[in-house]
Amino acid sequence: MITGKENLLQALIEAFLMEKGTKEFYADASGKSSNSDAKKIFRELADWEKKHMEFIQFLYQSINGGQEVKSFEEFINRTEAPLTEAGIPVKDLEAKIEKYTIKDETGALTLAMEIEGKAYNFYHKLSQDAEDTNAKVVFKEMMDQEVKHVEYLKKLRLKLVKVYQ
């Protein structure tokens, strides 16, 4: 588990794996959702997490002297991602989906807002605790990305409320 005590490269790897775990969860949730709007929301979130992974990969490779893309892809395919960016184990969220089927977009939005809000709090704590100045910058950037996700989800929720009024 990432603590903020990592150096920059370690922090990037840990953040990458958490983003990967979150992407995999959202992709799985999309496949298990019985409502087309919920599927779409989770699919969009999975795409965003993939972009976060690409951003972190770019930073890592830039700092690490342009590590070959192929070796990084091998790392992605070989490495498990047991945690989401919220610090919640993927298996716990998957169990939640199994137990409570996401039947509509309201359920999808509620779960996504919980994950993204916790991710913001997690990255915020890491940015405060980071000893490496560059790692602190990366965590703050990830925190800013989570704010964008939460704002997007709030807008979706407002739109949804207007539809049902």
Is 137 inside a domain boundary? yes
User: Would you say residue 37 has pLDDT above 60?
Assistant: yes
Is 1 inside a domain boundary? no
pLDDT attached to residue 88: 73
User: Would you say residue 76 has pLDDT above 90?
Assistant: no
Q: How far apart are CA 78 and CA 111, in angstroms?
A: 28
Q: For residues 139 and 60, is the Cβ–Cβ distance under 8 A?
A: no
Is 75 inside a domain boundary? yes
- Average pLDDT rounded to a whole number, residues 29-42: 82
Q: How far apart are CA 57 and CA 12, in angstroms?
A: 8
CATH number assigned to the domain comprising residue 45: 1.20.1260.10
User: Would you say residue 1 has pLDDT above 70?
Assistant: no
Q: Tens digit of pLDDT for each residue in 102-143? A: 666 777 788 888 888 888 988 888 888 888 888 788 889 889
Q: How far apart are CA 16 and CA 24, in angstroms?
A: 12
Select, from the ranges 60-69, 89-98, 106-115, 121-130, the one with the highest average predicted confidence (pLDDT). 121-130
Residues β-bridged to residue 83: 89
Helices (H), the chain: 8-32, 36-63, 69-78, 90-99, 105-129, 133-164
User: Would you say residue 46 has pLDDT above 90?
Assistant: yes
Predicted model pTM: 0.76
pLDDT attached to residue 2: 62
pLDDT attached to residue 164: 55
Is the model more confident about 91 or about 51?
A: 51
Is 3 inside a domain boundary? no
How many domains, in total, are found in the chain?
1
Q: For residues 55 and 123, is the Cβ–Cβ distance under 8 A?
A: no
- Average pLDDT rounded to a whole number, residues 22-37: 84
Is 68 inside a domain boundary? yes
Is 121 inside a domain boundary? yes
